[in-house]
Amino acid sequence: MTFQTSRQTVARSMDAWNWLAVPTLTCFMLTLLLALPIRVFGLVPPEPVFLMVPAFVWAVIRPSILPPFILMVSGLLLDMLWGAPLGLWGFSLLFGYAGVLASRSFASGQGQSMNWVWYAITCLIVELTAYLATLIDVQAAPSLVGAFWQWAVTAALYPFAHQLIERFEDADVRFK
């Protein structure tokens, strides 16, 4: 007698906790971890903007009214943690979120490599916005090398964004 087992797929819930709170809290935990005064071979590791991952995903998958509010509040917390002028990262993240929303109809449905390019360009826009706002605020140019490394490490986080996109595409009945 042969038994066939069917492969069951467990659908994840699209509730606010899984969609908004878990990614935000995860980003803060990782940000706090990298904010610890740890040096590797005398160098401080670059601080990626982990919040770019959910900001990008929220705009790509399911735009709603809550993500911009969460991005602004989270950006304010980043400003306090990193000692940036209040509103710098909130504004920069919202600017990137708006850019993804504006280009969503053109870029949605592309392959993973094209989405990575889209994500990297969004990271560049966010970093450039923060760089220019800092330049205007302090009347001095921040380190281009530091800004480049922050962008590069943040852009390298795309696999996490892709994983989050796939996770919620599986849970959202609109994609089935």
**3 pLDDT higher than 50:** no
Q: Does 106 or 127 have the greater pLDDT score?
A: 127
- Quick one: pLDDT at residue 107? 78
151/156 Cα distance (integer angstroms)? 8
Q: What is the mean pLDDT of the chain?
A: 85
- Quick one: pLDDT at residue 170? 66
Q: Tell me: the pLDDT tens digits for 50-62?
A: 999 999 999 998 7
**44 pLDDT higher than 90:** no
Q: Does 171 or 23 have the greater pLDDT score?
A: 23
Burial class (CB in 10 A: 0-12, 13-18, 19+), 63: middle
Query: Please, which pLDDT band fits residue 24 given cuts at 50, 70 and 90?
Result: very high
What letter represents residue 152's amino acid? A
**17 pLDDT higher than 80:** no
**Sign, Cα dihedral of 46, 50, 56, 57:** positive
The helix (run of H) or strand (run of E) holding residue 85 is none
DSSP annotation string for 15-30 = -HIIIIIHHHHHHHHH
CB–CB of 13/167 below 8 Å?
Answer: no
Boundaries of every domain in the chain: 16-175
84/54 Cα distance (integer angstroms)? 21
Q: Tell me: the pLDDT tens digits for 83-124?
A: 889 999 999 999 999 999 999 888 777 888 999 999 999 999
* Distant-in-sequence, close-in-space partners of 119: CB < 8 Å, separation ≥ 6: 52, 56, 155, 158, 161
β-strand partners of 40: 43
* Distant-in-sequence, close-in-space partners of 129: CB < 8 Å, separation ≥ 6: 91, 92, 95, 96
Q: Does 176 or 32 have the greater pLDDT score?
A: 32
**6 pLDDT higher than 70:** no
**1 pLDDT higher than 70:** no
This prediction's pTM: 0.84
159/62 Cα distance (integer angstroms)? 19
